């Protein structure tokens, strides 16, 4: 019997113009958490999709308990004890927890002795047992849409371990969770370890990796770099192995000099009484204004209100003294305001369209000849300029954006808004779910935009990011602005003091 529950040897996988995996390796021991790390585009997700049967390997082999096996599709992976919880959850909110967990494999019984029907009693009984396994005390008949994101994720984990789960893949499981929710997830992971489940944990959060993992495998450019025991590893060592070079500073030196106030918001209040209210602030030319706050502070909601995707009952917006009338995103775009959404996949990229389509979609009116003919040559030039300026890794502008890594998708979305040459750029969680190297590149883009005189509002849940990148930090709590901190004086303590200043 092999000491490894699963091995992947010399796995190769190519897509048109890209070699995603180049003799990649992975070995998983039962009852351990194995962190899989690398920059966006390093091949982590591709390797997991090969293990889970979503992709067919070009070369290589998979061994389970030392025996060579073939996994043709996710159902076969499931039968062999391999489960995967994807980064982007795909719940069916209108159905019950039990129906979501047993989707596609409902327990059946015979009605009138010969008509197959779903055995709801058994389904909900089994669901209750599974929920107890992941420490969730919920009614299996409760609609999934009534749960929080973290609770939905626990349901996904319950679904994943419903069978004879021996290998569980968790892809960026904490990207949308609060600290308390992260702790609850870690307790579930520890329980599964004790049951002998091997867990593949993909994350860019170094503190989580060093805390929860037993081993770390690092990939770079589709290749296997090495595997190390987590004990004794440092963040600097991991980053160096991931990016192939030393990052002496996580944040670039900024040379922007904020000028006069150009953007003013006064007494902005949502139509929803439980959302943002009486918010007033200003923004200077060439300034990076960080926005801090805990989950529920209504930071995103306020910015969506300014951008016209949420309704407000009072308040004014001015740019260079002139009042802006914004009731929909088109109004904001036409008046020089752009917003990079928090939900990259849900409301950012258009996955079935190309990189060129995604970059040009917000500025197509600039590339129309004779009133109705698209000038594809100019669009291709726009794509090439953005590809070089922002180091977007894509075979061509015709490549589907959904095939790019998260960091490269984010650069495409930034390029989309820059094509409109906005004066005010709102960035909501611009580095969520992307690796250290790609983060640094996006920080450099932000710093360069500020140096050019663009005014930037940056929402972030990462304290270090806010402190490292902001000229000023605006803090919100429960829909209100509770204070401002100069970037040079900001620290976790004074930010948290304002972030917890409830009425």
Does 261-336+422-499 carry CATH code 3.40.50.2300? Answer: no
| Phi, psi (deg, nearest 5) at residue 264 | -130, 135
Determine the Cα–Cα distance for residues 329 and 358; give it in Å rounded to an integer. 17
Structure tokens that stand for 438 in this block: 């790609």
Q: Where would I find the H helices in 401-435? A: 406-418
Q: How many CB atoms lie within 10 A of CB 3?
A: 10
Higher model confidence: residue 408 or residue 336? Answer: 336
Q: How many CB atoms lie within 10 A of CB 180?
A: 10
The CATH number of the structural domain formed by 6-243 is 3.40.50.300
Q: How confident is the model at residue 176 (pLDDT cuts 50, 70, 90)?
A: low
The whole-number pLDDT of residue 178 equals: 67
Higher model confidence: residue 3 or residue 393? Answer: 3
The whole-number pLDDT of residue 38 equals: 84
Q: How far is CA 287 from CA 31, 259, 404, in A?
A: 49, 8, 31
pLDDT at 144 over 80: yes
Q: How confident is the model at residue 376 (pLDDT cuts 50, 70, 90)?
A: confident
What letter does residue 460 receive in the DSSP assignment?
A: -
**Dihedral angle at the C-alpha atoms of 159, 160, 166, 170, nearest 10 degrees?**
-150
Q: How confident is the model at residue 177 (pLDDT cuts 50, 70, 90)?
A: low
The whole-number pLDDT of residue 480 equals: 94
Summarize pLDDT for 67-91 with one digit per residue, the tens. Answer: 999 999 988 998 899 988 876 667 7
pLDDT at 469 over 70: yes
What letter does residue 141 receive in the DSSP assignment?
A: T
Higher model confidence: residue 244 or residue 60? Answer: 60
Handedness of CA 483, 487, 491, 492 (dihedral sign): positive
- In 3D space, the residue among 394, 361, 391, 393 whose CA is nearest the CA of residue 379 turns out to be 361
In a 10 Å sphere around its CB, with 0-12 CB exposed, 13-18 middle and 19+ buried, how is residue 396 labelled? middle
Determine the Cα–Cα distance for residues 232 and 286; give it in Å rounded to an integer. 42
Q: How many CB atoms lie within 10 A of CB 446?
A: 24
Contact (CB, 8 A) for 239 and 436: yes
* 3-state class (DSSP) for residue 315: strand
Of 189-198, 320-329, 367-376, 438-447, minimum mean pLDDT range: 367-376
The whole-number pLDDT of residue 288 equals: 97
Structure tokens that stand for 390 in this block: 């922002």
Contact (CB, 8 A) for 289 and 457: yes
- In 3D space, the residue among 43, 88, 90 whose CA is nearest the CA of residue 403 turns out to be 43
Summarize pLDDT for 274-328 with one digit per residue, the tens. Answer: 899 999 999 999 999 999 988 778 999 999 999 999 999 999 999 999 999 999 9
Q: How confident is the model at residue 409 (pLDDT cuts 50, 70, 90)?
A: confident
Q: How many CB atoms lie within 10 A of CB 413?
A: 21
Contact (CB, 8 A) for 22 and 221: yes
Of 44-48, 55-59, 361-365, 468-472, minimum mean pLDDT range: 361-365
pLDDT at 208 over 80: yes
Residue extents of the structural domains in the chain: 6-243, 261-336+422-499
**Shared fold status for 6-243 and 261-336+422-499:** yes
Handedness of CA 189, 193, 197, 198 (dihedral sign): positive
As a whole number, the mean pLDDT across the chain is 87
The whole-number pLDDT of residue 472 equals: 97
């Amino acid at each position: 019997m092999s000491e490894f529950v699963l091995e992947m040897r010399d796995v190769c996988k190519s897509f048109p113009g890209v070699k995603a995996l180049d003799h990649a390796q992975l070995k998983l021991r039962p009852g351990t958490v194995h962190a899989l790390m690398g920059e966006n585009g390093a091949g982590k997700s591709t390797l997991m999709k090969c293990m889970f049967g979503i992709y067919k390997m070009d070369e290589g082999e998979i061994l389970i308990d030392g025996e060579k096996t073939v996994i043709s599709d996710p159902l076969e992976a499931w039968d062999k004890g391999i489960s995967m919880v994807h980064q982007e959850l795909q719940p069916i909110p209108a159905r019950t927890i039990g129906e979501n967990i047993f989707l596609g494999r409902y327990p059946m019984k015979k009605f009138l002795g010969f008509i197959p029907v779903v055995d709801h009693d058994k389904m909900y009984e089994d669901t209750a047992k599974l929920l107890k396994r992941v420490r969730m005390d919920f009614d299996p008949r409760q609609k999934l849409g009534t749960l929080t994101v973290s609770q939905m994720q626990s349901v996904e984990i319950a679904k994943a371990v419903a069978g004879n789960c021996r290998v569980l893949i968790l892809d960026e499981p904490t990207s949308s969770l609060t600290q308390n929710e992260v702790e609850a997830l870690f307790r579930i992971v520890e329980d599964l370890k004790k049951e002998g489940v091997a867990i593949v944990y993909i994350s860019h959060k170094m503190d989580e990796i060093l805390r929860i993992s037993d081993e770390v495998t690092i990939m770079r450019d589709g290749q296997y770099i090495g595997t190390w025991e987590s004990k004794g590893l440092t963040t600097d060592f991991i980053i160096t192995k991931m990016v192939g070079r030393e990052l002496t500073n996580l944040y670039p030196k900024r040379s922007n000099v904020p000028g006069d106030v150009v953007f003013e918001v006064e007494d902005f209040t949502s139509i929803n009484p439980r959302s943002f209210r009486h918010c007033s602030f200003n923004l200077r030319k060439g300034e990076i204004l960080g926005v801090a706050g805990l989950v529920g502070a209504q930071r995103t909601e306020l910015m969506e209100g300014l951008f016209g995707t949420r309704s407000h009952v009072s308040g004014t917006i001015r740019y260079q003294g002139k009042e802006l009338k914004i009731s929909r995103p088109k109004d904001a775009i036409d008046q020089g305001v752009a917003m990079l959404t928090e939900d990259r996949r849900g409301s950012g990229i258009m996955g079935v369209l190309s990189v060129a389509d995604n970059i040009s979609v917000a500025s197509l009116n600039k590339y129309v000849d004779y009133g109705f003919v698209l000038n594809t040559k100019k669009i291709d030039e726009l794509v090439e300029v953005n590809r070089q300026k922002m180091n977007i890794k894509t075979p061509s502008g015709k490549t589907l954006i959904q095939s790019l890594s998260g960091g490269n998708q984010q650069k495409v979305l930034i390029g989309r808004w820059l094509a409109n040459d906005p004066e005010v750029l709102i960035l909501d969680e611009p580095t969520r779910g992307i690796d250290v190297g790609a983060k640094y590149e996006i920080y450099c883009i932000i710093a360069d935009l500020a140096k050019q005189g663009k005014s930037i509002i940056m929402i972030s849940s990462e304290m270090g990011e806010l402190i490292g990148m902001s000229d000023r930090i605006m803090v919100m709590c429960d829909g209100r602005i509770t204070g401002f901190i100069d970037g040079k004086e900001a620290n976790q303590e004074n930010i948290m003091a304002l972030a917890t200043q409830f009425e």
